[in-house]
Amino acid sequence: MELIWWIVVIVGCVALAGCVVHALLWPHPVDRQRLRPLANTRRLTRLPEYLRAVRVRTITACLSIALLVTAFAAAVLVTARPMGLPSATQNSEALAPEDIMVCVGAPVSEPAVAATMRYFAQRVTSFGAERIGLTSANRRVVPLTRDYQYAAGQFGAYAQPVEQQDGEPFVAPVSYVDYAENVEDVLALCLTGFPTFDEKTPQRRSLIYVGPQSLPGPGGAQLFTDERVREMAAAAGVQVNVLATDTGGGPLDELARSTGGRSFEAGATVDGQLDDIRDHPPSAASSGDNATRSVETPDVGLVVALLAVVALSLWPVVVRR
């Protein structure tokens, strides 16, 4: 088991220790005016009824302390965001974690790009175990995130007509002297948006490229070649999918096939093509160091905390009976 937020466990242990010290060492003054003098207490304390009452009270106190500590410990564990515990989604292919990078190499005014923005703006809020990001030709618009409301807002904003967009430009206005924008460099920028992009991870990874097979423009130096991009995608375990805004049949089709992705020539049915891509996600690893598991597995902690609270609530009813 691993914990994402170890600091929560440390703070919880310190708080619990403080409560124990306070209960054991803090002086509790006794109001002697409320104490009644009793005679023959030795005889009274030997009565079966008294012994039974003391036994019930002791059991109740011990059980209450145990249940409270159990519920507190389980709540702290869940808050610390555990990974690796048994979970209902542990072996679920549909709910396996996935990183999705939407990579745009065409202007945001392109109909296929606008349709892609609308598609994810409408569907990203229904995601559960996915992280989604958005990269333009020279800018990381949305880093990989599970803040679905934020991501939906960004996708929705860039789905609007250009004249209605009041945020940062989708593509940073940069002029180059001895460099020409090219598809290979755009794809490399998108691939580097995955954490530890130089190695495979338990998360499934998919990249959806929307743009031309090649960018027209004056010749110039480029940073990455087709072969280098293919090597980067293979090393990171990324499935590359392509929605080409120009005629298909270019080098990106081969890149998509080699990574297990799909390639389409974007048309009037962009939503259907994106549905097809999302219906064929990368396969989840099933064994080895890269076995896919739920990012967070709070199920056990939640069940234990719930059972402890329910038992604590029902115990007084059991005692009365």
Q: What angle do helix axes 183-191 and 226-236 make, rounded to 10 degrees?
A: 20
pTM of the model: 0.63
pLDDT in tens, 130-146: 899 999 988 999 999 99
Instruction: Tell whether the model's pLDDT for residue 150 goes beyond 90.
Output: yes
Q: Which residue has the higher pLDDT, 319 or 285?
A: 319
Range name among 117-121, 210-214, 257-261 with the lowest pLDDT average: 210-214
Instruction: Tell whether the model's pLDDT for residue 35 goes beyond 80.
Output: no
Q: What is the pLDDT of residue 216?
A: 63
Mean pLDDT on 164-189 = 84
Residues 6+ apart with CB under 8 A from 292: 96, 97, 202, 203, 204, 284, 285, 286
Q: Which residue has the higher pLDDT, 177 or 305?
A: 305
Check: CB of residue 244 under 8 Å from CB of residue 264: yes
Q: What is the pLDDT of residue 88?
A: 60
State the Cα–Cα distance between residues 72 and 16, nearest whole angstrom: 9
Quickly state the pLDDT bin for 172 (edges 50, 70, 90). Answer: confident
In the chain, domain spans? 2-29+38-87+295-320, 93-279
Q: What is the pLDDT of residue 78?
A: 86
Check: CB of residue 154 under 8 Å from CB of residue 190: no
pLDDT in tens, 76-104: 988 888 876 666 655 555 556 889 999 99
Closest residue by Cα to residue 16 from 73, 97, 66 = 73
Q: Which residue has the higher pLDDT, 290 or 117?
A: 117
Class of domain 93-279: alpha beta
Q: What is the pLDDT of residue 287?
A: 44
Closest residue by Cα to residue 171 from 135, 120, 220 = 135
Cross-sheet strand order for the sheet of 263-265: 140-145, 130-135, 98-104, 204-211, 238-244, 263-265
Closest residue by Cα to residue 105 from 204, 203, 7, 189 = 189
Instruction: Tell whether the model's pLDDT for residue 36 goes beyond 80.
Output: no
Q: Which of the 8 DSSP states describes residue 208?
A: E
